[in-house]
């Protein structure tokens, strides 16, 4: 079952328009006989009373168009958009009706417009004028139009069952059918694309939640193992800990010693004698051995 509009109410004596629309003087007693009569009620029960998007089909092919027409040697289906579920007329002129949108290209377009609170319904009634009043004699459905004459019917009244202003347009029905199909295809593609985007977004969110759960489990395992989980909250660069080797400590100590300020030496009373060549060679050998020992420590570390 398609989407239904719910009960729509408007008054046949009041268009609820001040500056636009067509004033109507209707015979309410005749309207009650028509809408509440057995012929209309039986047709509604059998889902025989349908409506179209706009009045153009009725203006061109009459108030009660056939299911198909022949244009350019081709058979074109006049696709309805909705059908009347119920209708009744009250003594004060209030007309109540409910429509159901069909699962057709025209029906899907009309349903989307209805859900957007755009357009409204317009009655297709054969109501010839007699003694200055319109006398309803035939009800043929509710069409979905942009500006309904009875604005609370969100009805035009088609006063003639003859063809309207589109009788010279030989391709009208086929053009309208192609237009409905094209718009319906675009709507279906748009809905499918939206569904794909929504599905991809949901899947991405599920993967993200799974990653958060895994991170929480890993942090709990680190906590149980006695290790503090890493928290990279600092905005500065991460510093690596430096391990100072023993040999490096010795070199640093020697550097501090060599750069320390020492008190000046007192001039000796007599110039010192140069050590014998043997002692100088021994001193050089000691220095080389010391350096070699330091190098060995550094290499081993």
What pLDDT digit, counting tens, does each position of 122-156 carry?
888 888 888 888 888 999 999 998 876 654 544 33
In a domain, residue 210? The reply is no
In a domain, residue 17? The reply is yes
Percentage of the chain beyond pLDDT 90 is 24
* Structural domain count of the chain: 1
Give 245's pLDDT tier (boundaries 50, 70, 90).
low
In a domain, residue 293? The reply is no
In a domain, residue 51? The reply is yes
In a domain, residue 46? The reply is yes
Give 300's pLDDT tier (boundaries 50, 70, 90).
low
Q: Is the pTM of this model over 0.85?
A: no
Whether 274 has a pLDDT exceeding 90, the answer reads no
More confident residue, 177 or 17: 177
In a domain, residue 135? The reply is yes
pLDDT value at position 15?
A: 61
Q: Where in the sequence is the domain holding 85, given as residue range(s)?
A: 8-189
Per the DSSP assignment, residues forming a β-bridge with 86 are 98
In a domain, residue 123? The reply is yes
In a domain, residue 56? The reply is yes
- Highest-confidence segment of 130-139, 183-192, 240-249, 286-295: 130-139
């Amino acid at each position: 079952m398609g989407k239904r509009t719910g009960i729509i109410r408007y008054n046949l004596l009041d268009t609820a328009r001040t500056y636009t629309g067509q004033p109507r003087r209707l015979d309410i007693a005749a309207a009650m006989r028509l809408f509440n009569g057995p012929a209309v009620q039986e047709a509604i029960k059998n889902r025989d009373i349908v409506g179209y998007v706009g009045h153009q089909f009725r203006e061109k092919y009459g108030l009660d168009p056939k299911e198909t027409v022949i244009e350019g040697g081709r058979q074109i289906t006049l696709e309805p958009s909705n059908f009347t579920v119920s209708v009744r007329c009250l003594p004060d002129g209030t007309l109540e009706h409910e429509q159901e949108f069909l699962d057709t290209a025209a029906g899907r377009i009309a349903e989307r417009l209805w859900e957007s609170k755009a357009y409204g319904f317009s009655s297709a009634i054969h109501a010839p004028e007699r003694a200055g009043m319109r006398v309803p004699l035939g009800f043929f459905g509710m069409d979905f139009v942009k500006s309904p004459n009875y604005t609370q019917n969100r009805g035009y009244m088609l006063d003639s069952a003859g063809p309207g202003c589109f009788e010279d347009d030989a391709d009208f029905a086929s053009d309208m059918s192609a237009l409905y199909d094209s718009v319906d295809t675009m709507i279906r593609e748009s809905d499918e694309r939206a569904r794909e985007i929504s599905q991809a977004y949901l899947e991405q969110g599920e993967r993200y939640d799974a990653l958060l759960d895994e991170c929480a489990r890993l942090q709990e395992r680190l906590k149980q193992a006695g290790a503090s989980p890493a928290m990279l909250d600092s905005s500065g660069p991460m510093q690596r800990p430096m391990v100072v080797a023993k040999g490096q400590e010795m070199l640093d100590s020697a550097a501090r010693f060599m750069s320390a300020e020492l008190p000046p030496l007192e001039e000796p009373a007599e110039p010192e004698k140069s050590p014998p060549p043997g002692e100088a060679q021994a001193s050089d050998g000691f220095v080389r051995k010391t350096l070699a020992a330091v190098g060995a420590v550094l290499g081993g570390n």
